Amino acid sequence: MRDIIQLTTQRREELVDITARVVAIVKASSVRQGVVAVYAQGATAALMIQENWDESVQTDVIHLLRQLIPRGVWLHDQQDGNGDAHLKAGLVGPSETIPIIDGELGLSRWQNIFFCEFDGPRRDRRVICTVLADR
């Protein structure tokens, strides 16, 4: 089964929790044992599994990436000013794979799935979710 999560982002850089939407897709699939692969479309977006309890962790992720990859100093900035967004997305990566165990996501209590926006705000971001059953 495959489904698409469509998002609108509000800021240039933000982490958007998509866990509930992935859970809904897995439930709709009726898969009890397997995996769900989530993939962020777009060269300036990524996905990350991260702490869900304290929002400061998500803020810290953004701040760390800003320090590691500052804005406005990259060759690609001469094209369209988002060289840092491409590098951040490449470093974090476009996908995550989560086990499905007894019909539930195999995340720990403190983990959620976050869409990472590095070049927003955007009206049409997409995450492809592919649910595969064990056979």
What's the mean per-residue pLDDT of the chain? 96
Q: What is the pLDDT of residues 54-107, one digit of tens each?
A: 889 999 999 999 999 999 989 898 899 999 999 999 999 999 999 999 999 999
Q: Which of 19, 78, 16 lies closest to 45, judged by CA?
A: 16
Contacts for 87-90: CB closer than 8 Å, 24+ residues apart? 88/13, 88/44, 88/46, 88/116, 88/118, 89/40, 89/42, 89/43, 89/44, 89/45, 89/46, 89/116, 89/118
Mean pLDDT over 106-132 rounds to 97
Domains and CATH numbers, the chain: 2-36+44-94+113-133 (2.60.120.460)
